[in-house]
Amino acid sequence: MSVPALTIGVPARATEEDLPGALASLDASAERAGEPCEIVVAVNGPEEPAPAVAGARAFATARAMPLVAADAEPPPRLPCLRLLRLGVASKVAAWNAIRAVARAEMLVFADADVRVGPDAIGLLLARLHAEPGLVAAAGREVAVLEPGDGLAARVAALPHRFDFGNVPGRLYALRASAFAEAIPASVLHEDAYLTVRLGRARFAKEAGAVVFLRPPTTWREYLRQRVRNELGKLQLVRDFPELYAAHGFGRYPWRHFVRAIALREYPLVVLALAARAYARCRARREAAAGVPTGWAVLPSTKRWVPAVREPAAPASPESGHTTEEPATGP
């Protein structure tokens, strides 16, 4: 039986329809890195039939890749796809399930609705190999704006111009032996938790490892995303105060950010700050009321045009098709 040098873990909501495009992008990047790999997809949520399961099977068939249930005997050849099915709709539960069955020392976690650069996985692995003191290496998130995207999308994309010093949850590599524990099931934001759990000295950003994402394109979805982000921060302060304080989470180089913003972008900044203020107030009310907030699906973030097109390199904001520079959000 072949033992993989790399496990690619993809938590996917049961209703996820973009999974084949994301898997194809990740598989191509892993193949370019030259590492024998397994892909483990954790489809989570009670919905049946589950488009994500059908998508995983379609991808494996198109790639002529062995596909088995994750609790079955792994196939004898690589690459392969192992499929987990969880009834609970929880990204953290999916993350923990992937972590429990992964066979490789190096793990790459990615979202189910992204595209990655051809060299992204290879660059992340090279960074970990070169720096043994690192536990994780994170990719650089780039928001892609398509023709027809409106003001909400441009405001949502703006923070991705900056590095907020967090682990970007859409693509990162993790050294399995250095992070063996599960993420607490109650955690709302696994990437924020990893940020404070690892500390600034044990993870790094790899600028060349680009992961492309679609920002929310409606105000409703953008504000929903912002409220959930703020709830995740409140939870860190409440449940993990020592980790939060030790990391310095939430303290950003605002002067540097201001200098990097063009005058024409000030209206976007004003709207972003207003949305942040609203989201903080709403999050405090929901936290005080004990309102459970799960992993909300944002349909507009799944709309790649066309669905499996590899995004172009970053372009000028004045062009029709634009990308924004990276960050994990303030």
Q: How confident is the model at residue 248 (pLDDT cuts 50, 70, 90)?
A: low
Residue 186 pLDDT greater than 80, yes or no: yes
Residue 51 is which amino acid? Answer: P
Residue 196: how many CB atoms within 10 A of its CB? 21
| Tokens describing residue 109 | 């976690």
pLDDT at site 242: 85
Report residue 185: phi and psi, to 5°. Answer: -60, -25
Residue 154 pLDDT greater than 60, yes or no: yes
Cβ neighbours for 97, distance < 8 A, ≥ 6 positions apart: 42, 70, 84, 86
| Tokens describing residue 244 | 């939060």
CA dihedral for 103, 108, 112, 117, sign (positive or negative): negative
Residue 271 pLDDT greater than 70, yes or no: yes
Residue 320 pLDDT greater than 70, yes or no: no
Cβ neighbours for 229, distance < 8 A, ≥ 6 positions apart: 189, 279, 329
d(CA 278, CA 265): 20
Q: How confident is the model at residue 2 (pLDDT cuts 50, 70, 90)?
A: confident
Residue 312 pLDDT greater than 50, yes or no: no
